[in-house]
Structure 1
């Protein structure tokens, strides 16, 4: 099963760890920048929007960090428009308890 991960650079360490764990369980990240050569990265940088769009289309679901930046809202919106399953993830365990926080996670699909 393929997934698209939406986060920002401040979560890079957690993103790499999560990708590693999910890969060991048989999941494939369609936008894992660790698997891309430097030449490909330069090409992607020139057309990042198309790269992200293609990845979202290819994925079975989106995994988005709760702490993702506002730029990830475009990716989230596009995934929702394609009726993709969305999983909101937080590396901070205190965010798992809705009754203790102000976060409300809506499962869409």
Structure 2
């Protein structure tokens, strides 16, 4: 597998794990309703990253479409998590993983 694809797949998988952990942790927060948007976006982000990883891994001609969407959703997820990151470690970690994944997806598009 191409080295660039390997690092992209690693970023996608790290983002999936961070988003899933963040969503689960948000569900344990005292005010879950306040975290509803974060949870929803975490789930969307994990799902688009998983689908994108599959398309990239198999070398699909349609991977570029997903990379564009994935970068956009990762950016949205990072922005949402950054709102809570000062007082929620799981949101801070998720935001960081999403930013790395967003960058990796954009780099994958540029290649």
Compute the TM-score of the two structures, normalised by the length of structure 1: 0.29
More strand by share: 1
Q: Which has the higher helix share?
A: 2
